[in-house]
Structure formats: C-alpha cells, structure tokens
Amino acid sequence: MIHESAKIHPSAVIEDGVIIGANVTVGPFTYIATGVEIGEGTEVMSHVVIKGPTVIGKDNRIFPFAIVGEECQDKKFSGEATRLEIGDRNVIRESVQIHRGTTQDKGVTVVGNDNLLCVNAHIAHDVVVGDHTHIGNNSILGGHVTVGDYAGVMALSAIHPFCTVGAYSYVGGCSAVVQDVPPYVLAQGNHAKPFGLNIVGLQRNGFEKPELHAIRRAYKEIYRSGKTLAEVKPVLAEMAKDWPSVARFSELLDNSERGIIR
C-alpha cells in the first residue's frame, strides 16, 4: 500500500506488499522489496536497496547506495525470518549497510531514534543502537554489539562482536574495541584503553557539576582505586542510591560478557 501523497520516481522498483506512508519520497533507481514498511515523511534517495522484513519509522533520511535490511553475513544464517527495526529521524548516509538479525540471538537488528550513521558505516546482525548516537565514517559494529544512547563511535573504528559501548561514551577514531566500554568513558587505541571521562559530551547533554563529580568518583573507583571489580561493585551500588546515573556503571559490570577495557 502506497499512500497517495508519497512521491515515487518512475524508475524506482517497489515490489508488491510494500507499505509506504504519507509524504514519503523515493528517488530514482531505488529498489524496495516485499516486507518493507516506511513511515511518513521519510526520504529515500537514489540507488538505495531496502529489503525486508524491515520497518522504518518517520522522518528518516536515507542517502544514495545505502543497503538497508539485507540478510546478514553470518555463516549460520540460512534464510530464517529475521528482521530490522529502525526508529524515527535517523540520518543514514551513503553506502551504509544495516543487516537483519539472526535466530541465534534476538532475531532482530534495532536502530533507535535520532542517530547519525555516517558514510559506509556497517551495522551487523543483531546489533542494538540506541538513540542520539554518532557512528562515524567506515566504522564497523560487529554482530550482537550494543551501542548506548548518546554514544559516539568515530571514523574507522571497529567494535568486536558481543561488545557494549556504553551510554554517553566516546570511542576515538581508528580504535579497535575488543571489550566493553563503560558509560561516560573516553576510549582510544588498538586495543582501546580508557582515557578518562567524556566530560564535554556530558556537559553538552545537561549533566550538572554535582552529577559529574559523582560520575568522576565512580570512574576512579573502577580505574584508580586498585580494587578488584568485585570490591568496586558494592561501592557503586551505594553511590547509585543518590546518583542514578552511576547505576549505568553497575549494570554494565553485572552484565558484561567480555569484561571492560582496562
């Protein structure tokens, strides 16, 4: 079903069963396969490939040569019914690749709202990208990676499968991340190491001085106290009673599969 207000270029190929909302535009030589749903106000430019099952929300912009909802590159994948879900107001730049999930995990790849995925970024199967993230040019998110809200993964960085990049953290360019990056942390290098807190990013997002001091104390407990992580956890839990933002550290330490960068 294509809404009457949608503008579809004559050279675009739209298969049967595609749902296209109000005021959507589809550029020349774009291919949209069965099983795709595109929300109102989204702009799909020329030479884009979108395959399904894929649901794309409202007011997104998808630039030329992006490949959205293609089957994954996992050798275990054998055509199972998996999907991709993309939220609202995302900018998906040229040649970005976003693959559907696998049945070995959740069966779905998720991109939230208000994200910027820069040129040639790769979002692999079963990845979860939060809201307001910045994924830089040629960055690679391996399978099953999680990127928290307001995090940044800068150009030419690679995130190992099953790793987490915590909320409000910042991974510098050309980094290789093979363990979890805690929230709020600056990470850089091959292999990536912690270099303090993303203070500028926190300030830009409304964190006030008392809360920043609490986050700094939590960071020091993890990285400067000389304590084991088992010893640090109860300290963080106590701090989180007064500062909920500190709870993000506790959650990552409790759930980490690969350990944190050190």
Which residues form the catalytic set?
125-126, 143
Residue type present at position 119: V
Distance, in Å, from the CA atom of 165 to the CA atom of 180, rounded to the nearest integer, reads: 6
Long-range contacts made by residues 173-178, C-beta under 8 angstroms, separation at least 24? 173/136, 177/261, 178/258
Phi, psi of 158 (to 5 degrees): -125, 130
**Phi, psi angle pair for 210, to nearest 5°:** -60, -40
- Is residue 28 reached through a cis peptide bond, with omega within 30 degrees of 0 on the bond before it? no
**Rounded to an integer, what distance in angstroms lies between the CA atom of residue 154 and that of residue 23?**
33
Q: Cα dist. 88→77, 130, 164 in Å?
A: 28, 12, 23
